[in-house]
Amino acid sequence: MRAVAILLLHVLLLASRTAEARCEAQPRFLTLEYLHRWEIIAFGRVIKTHDDASARYESFATLILEGSWQGDPPNPLTVYHSDSAHGYQFTEGSSYLVFASRDAGGRIEASICSPTCRGSDCLPQRNLLGEPTARF
């Protein structure tokens, strides 16, 4: 039993290091330059989610936007995301500050490595960004 517990611990540690390695470009402290790396920066409330565990980036959230800082996003905004253990999860009814990029096909995607955040957790990012350049 102890051997199984140790094996599980090693698997969990390896998984967390793998996710960490994918996000290694994140700075220790947020800067405005870092935040502007994403094509789209927008704030809004999730009105719909769809999760498809069978395919990567087939899960999405649709948000009604209140404002944006970069990228001229459509309103409503549909953001695709990975629904894996290390993917970003959106909750219907919650507000998010989304940092996203377009894939080769033009879909807007937010990854776990982006500084996307929910509600009051976004205060550091919102303070750095200032007022939105567009309001909806």
Q: What is the per-residue pLDDT for 59?
A: 87
pLDDT 10s digits, 37-52: 999 999 999 999 988 7
Q: Tokens 């793998």 appear where? A: 18
Q: What is the per-residue pLDDT for 18?
A: 39
Q: 28-135 domain in CATH 2.40.50.120?
A: yes
- What secondary structure does DSSP assign to 33-59, as a single string? HHHTTSSEEEEEEEEEEE--TTSTT-E
Domains of the chain, residue spans? 28-135
Q: What is the per-residue pLDDT for 111?
A: 86
pLDDT 10s digits, 52-109: 766 655 789 999 999 999 999 999 999 998 755 556 789 999 999 999 999 999 999 9
Instruction: State yes or no: pLDDT of 17 exceeds 50.
Output: no
